Amino acid sequence: MTDTNDKEIQKTLEEMNKRAEEFQANKMYTPKSHFSSFSNSNLKLIFVIIGVVVILIISVFFVMKSGSQKAKLKAPPGYEIIYLKDAPPRLQPK
């Protein structure tokens, strides 16, 4: 009787070892995502921050681009603009 028990125990151990090896082999080759260590709330926060940065960069680009144009001043009818050397422009009647 102990002989059959020993055989069953040996067979069970071999089966367990085989399953453990298969598990390790599957675990070793399972690809992991780069975001696996982040939780959902952390991912949302990261995407919000990235979105805000992109919006800021686009806004700065448009502000810088619009600032390079010179203002065109037009005098009202009957007046002319006089540009002095060390003073701001003035309106003077014609």
Contact between 78 and 91 under an 8 Å Cβ cutoff? The reply is no
Least reliable range by pLDDT among 1-5, 6-10, 23-27, 34-38: 34-38
Please provide residue 92's backbone torsions phi and psi, each rounded to the nearest 5 degrees.
Answer: -140, 135
Burial (CB count within 10 angstroms: exposed 0-12, middle 13-18, buried 19+), residue 29: exposed
Please provide residue 41's backbone torsions phi and psi, each rounded to the nearest 5 degrees.
Answer: -65, -35
Q: 68 or 39: whose pLDDT is higher?
A: 39
Helix (H, G, I), strand (E, B) or coil at 15: helix
Distance CA 6, CA 15 (A): 14
Does 64 have pLDDT greater than 90?
A: no
Average pLDDT over residues 37-62: 89
Contact between 75 and 94 under an 8 Å Cβ cutoff? The reply is no
